[in-house]
Amino acid sequence: MIGAATFLLTFQSLEGGSWRQHTPCGKEFVMVAFKVPGMTCGGCAASVRRALGAVAGVEDVQIDLDSKDVRISGAPSADALRTALEKAGFEAEGLPVA
């Protein structure tokens, strides 16, 4: 339980970048957080979600339209995320290079 609480705190304090995490059951995965300032409505958010969800290795996509924050969990490559976003007409801000 302590592990789960720590995990949640870490997750909520993300500002941009990527993190290697272990779930409470010991599985390792990566979280990537960045901003997509071009999202202005629910339609944009849906496009971004669809584009990112199709990238190999992505397990979950969370989008906060108000803050323009996007959080990915899974093990995708940042380049693949960037390419998918650009194809959908959006630019990522703060997406790690590696």
Q: Least distance from C-beta 16 to Cu ion, angstroms? A: 22
Instruction: Indicate whether 51 belongs to the interface with Cu ion (CB under 5 A).
Output: no
Length of the chain: 98
Nearer to Cu ion, 1 or 41 (CB): 41
CA atoms in the 13 A half-sphere facing the CB of 17: 9
Rounded to whole angstroms, the Cα distance separating 18 from 74 reads: 11
- Where does this chain touch Cu ion (CB under 5 A) — which range of 6-14, 43-51, 63-71, 75-83? 43-51
Q: In the window 18-37, what residues touch Cu ion (CB under 5 A)? A: none
Rounded to whole angstroms, the Cα distance separating 72 from 87 reads: 18
Nearer to Cu ion, 30 or 68 (CB): 68
Rounded to whole angstroms, the Cα distance separating 40 from 19 reads: 27
Name the residues that contact Cu ion, by CB under 5 A. Answer: 40-41, 43-44
